[in-house]
Amino acid sequence: MRADDVLQHLTTPLAAPVYPLRPTRFTDREYFNVVYRTDPDALRAVVPEPLEVTEPLVRFEVMRMGEVDGYGPYVESGQAIQVEHEGERGEYLHAMYLDNSAATLAGRELSAYPKVLGTPALRVDQGALVGTLDRGTERVATATMAYEWEPLDHDAALAEITVPTFMVKLVPDLRTQRHLVADLVRTEITDVTVKQAWTGPARLQLFAHALAPMADLPVLEVVRASHILTDLTLAPVRTVHDYLADRPSA
Active site amino acids: 115
CA distance 115 to 94: 10
| CA proximity to 56, closest of 38, 72, 30, 41 | 38
CA dist list (Å): 159 to 51, 52, 146, 163: 20, 20, 22, 7
Q: At residue 250, what is the residue type?
A: A
CA distance 47 to 55: 12
End-to-end CA distance of the chain: 35
Which residues, in sequence order, are bridge partners of residue 125?
Answer: 128
Instruction: Look at residue 72 and give its three-state secondary structure.
Output: coil
Q: Is 245 exposed, middle or buried (0-12, 13-18, 19+ CB in 10 A)?
A: exposed
CA distance 250 to 248: 6
Residue 17 φ/ψ, nearest 5 degrees: -55, 140
